[in-house]
Amino acid sequence: MVLFHDPRCLDYGNSARPEQPARLGKTVPLLQQNHPNWTWRTAVTATEEDAALAHDETLLARLQQAQDFDADTPWWEDIDAHAYRATGSAMAATAAALNGEGPAMSLMRPPGHHATETQAMGFCYLNHIAVAALHAREHRQVNRVAVWDFDAHHGNGTEAILAERSDVLFVSVHQSPGYPGTGLKSFANCVNYPVRPLTPRGDHMATLEESWQRVIAFRPDLVLVSAGFDAYVGDPITDMTLEKTDFATLGSWLHDATVPVAAVLEGGYSSDLPHLVDAFLTSWAGEAATV
Ligand SMILES: [Zn+2]
């Protein structure tokens, strides 16, 4: 297991918001304590050229203007640097997976899957997974990329950026009704599975399994996972019912995949987040669960 993290990602925000530094401030030490054999790396930051694979230059310029994007998405000092580092980390995790270094995940903030070509929103400023997918298509021998998004919110930004491409598949399972209100229908290369609030976890997991089969059936050369942990029953900003063991099951599917897989942390706002990530990664790595 190769994990990409930069402690500078804790240097903005505060505990008054769900997307807060403690999410990773508590997750990283827990993983390091429970898994001393896992490899930790800090990626180089992404460049503007990298970000421009998925974003319009107006957004890249806007990141430097000290003005909030929306109520969920404040402007923070150096938010552009934070966003570019998280993008670079997703790209590095992707490269590690493609290089055969095994399971790889980026554990950074801010998350990315709501950011569109032109707009920062929903705690997201740059769309790391979209940049990583497009970079792999342009610069690696990757003909087909599948993005699997199990965050409880629809990855509207990823969908908008990757829509209508025959070389990329986007598959998302998300709460509906729920933020941001998109992802109600499938079209072209975008497959959406809206799930009602308070859907029993067995039904939610059956939908996730069907969605994962869609990913595999695409026969991708690379799978990128928008790993959000906010479909957890204890998450404060959603109404879903998954338990820790369900995230371990998702990890086991990645473990069984025969193509390179990299994951990027998206949401997850419960204080149990460290244990959810641990369960997911432990089964992805094919290791026995710790209690
Ligand atoms: Zn989310």
| Domains of the chain, CATH where assigned | 2-284 (3.40.800.20)
pLDDT band at 289 (very low <50, low <70, confident <90, very high): confident
Q: pLDDT digit string (tens) for 146-204?
A: 999 999 999 999 999 999 999 999 999 999 999 999 999 999 999 999 999 999 999 99
Average pLDDT of the chain?
A: 98
Distance CA 214, CA 283 (A): 21
Share of the chain above pLDDT 70, in %: 99
Contact 251, 284 (CB under 8 A): yes
The side-by-side arrangement of strands in the sheet containing 145-149 is 39-41, 2-4, 104-106, 261-265, 222-227, 145-149, 168-175, 190-195
Span from the CA of 232 to the centroid of ligand 1 (angstroms): 10
pLDDT band at 291 (very low <50, low <70, confident <90, very high): low
Say what the pLDDT of residue 290 is.
Answer: 65
φ and ψ of 242, to 5 deg? -65, 150
State whether residue 89 is helix, strand or coil: helix
Q: Which helix (H) or strand (E) holds 168?
A: strand 168-175
Contact 54, 127 (CB under 8 A): yes
Question: Of 55, 113, 114, 174, which is the active-site residue?
Answer: 114
Q: How many CA atoms lie within 13 A of 275 on its CB side?
A: 12
Contact 169, 145 (CB under 8 A): yes
Span from the CA of 267 to the centroid of ligand 1 (angstroms): 4
Distance CA 3, CA 19 (A): 20
Distance CA 214, CA 136 (A): 21
Span from the CA of 123 to the centroid of ligand 1 (angstroms): 9
Q: pLDDT digit string (tens) for 92-144?
A: 999 999 999 999 999 999 999 999 999 999 999 999 999 999 999 999 999 99
Span from the CA of 151 to the centroid of ligand 1 (angstroms): 5
Span from the CA of 73 to the centroid of ligand 1 (angstroms): 13
Say what the pLDDT of residue 213 is.
Answer: 98
Distance CA 198, CA 144 (A): 34
Span from the CA of 238 to the centroid of ligand 1 (angstroms): 8
Distance CA 64, CA 280 (A): 35
Nearest to 168 by CA among 139, 142, 141, 194: 142
Say what the pLDDT of residue 288 is.
Answer: 83
Share of the chain above pLDDT 90, in %: 98
Span from the CA of 148 to the centroid of ligand 1 (angstroms): 13
Span from the CA of 141 to the centroid of ligand 1 (angstroms): 31
pTM of the model: 0.98
Span from the CA of 266 to the centroid of ligand 1 (angstroms): 6
| Residue 260: both structure tokens together | 């390179």
Whether 114 is a known active-site residue: answer yes
Span from the CA of 269 to the centroid of ligand 1 (angstroms): 8
Q: pLDDT digit string (tens) for 243-269?
A: 999 999 999 999 999 999 999 999 999
